[in-house]
Amino acid sequence: MRLELEMPGAVFDEGSRIEATIVVTATRDASVLGGEIELAWHRAYHYRQGTDVWGPYATATGRSSNVGDRVVLKPLGHLSPGDRISQRVALRVPAHGPGSVRTGLVDLQWEVTARLRVEKARTTEVTRPVLVLSEAADREQVTERPPTVEEHQCAGLSFTSLSSRRLVPGVALDGELTVAPLKACDVRGIRVELVLLEHVARGPRASTDPLRNPAYEEADEEMVVASVALADRPELDPARPLTFRFSVPVPDRLPAPSMRTEEFSLRWMLRGVVDRPLRADPCVAVEMHGVTMTLRRFS
């Protein structure tokens, strides 16, 4: 029994329909008892596993799977060699995802799987991966959070203008960064960068009771997706604030939308940095609402 799964594409938005066609070709006499086609997502995230914060630890992985939609296939009855039957089905991508993710600590992938149960034979199965794009509607409120500023007794930074706090694939972020020196400092440069912050809080065994949760399981990674240099070795004068206009390019495909679960968070930040040698860097950071849907959904 040969089973094929045909789809019009491999990239779908949250809430959209996946029109799939199952093609069954008999290679011998067989009786098809029925089957199913399902859309599911599989999640994996990495966390620390050790005795204490200073002791040795290993990287462990938490895994889970969920079915987003399923269609039951009716029995096809007896098929003779060469018989070919096709059946169209429609699957619905959940309206609120989650969207696909591929980062250093988190991997969340979607796939469509078709299965046929054949009498006196193994179940026939075929799987196709799909990419689900998300508008991360549950994270829109992050745009209301105030910026975080770290001066480190050198300079205060602020974004005096910003085109948007919604991060959309392929749409550049334009704005203005102001640096107000607190004193003369040795500076290597000034830049603006788009950063994805990953934080895994705990492994899958943890409960809502913090006293029962394993300690020291946190893991963090930072991914700089784009960086724009604004100045090379500028002189900082407390009497003369510096203002820079910038345009940060955004890739056409982002690795993840903004996301928060009980186990991990994915946060997009736009960060202005004064780069100091052998010193902590003064910076300002604003959290962005990262989506993976394209501009046509937000125009």
> Distance of CA 260 to CAs 67, 88, 245, 268, Å?
19, 35, 32, 12
pLDDT band at 294 (very low <50, low <70, confident <90, very high): confident
pLDDT at 58: 81
Name the nearest CA neighbour of 102 among 296, 284, 292: 292
Give the span between the Cα atoms of 226 and 171, in whole angstroms.
Answer: 12
What is the domain class of 137-297 according to CATH? mainly beta
Whether pLDDT at 13 is above 80: yes
Give the span between the Cα atoms of 290 and 269, in whole angstroms.
Answer: 9
What CATH architecture is 2-133? Sandwich (2.60)
Domain residues of the chain, as ranges?
2-133, 137-297
Give the span between the Cα atoms of 196 and 103, in whole angstroms.
Answer: 9
Are the folds of 2-133 and 137-297 the same? yes
Whether pLDDT at 50 is above 70: no
pLDDT band at 132 (very low <50, low <70, confident <90, very high): very high
What pTM value is reported for the model? 0.90
Query: Can you tell me the mean pLDDT for 35-46?
Result: 96
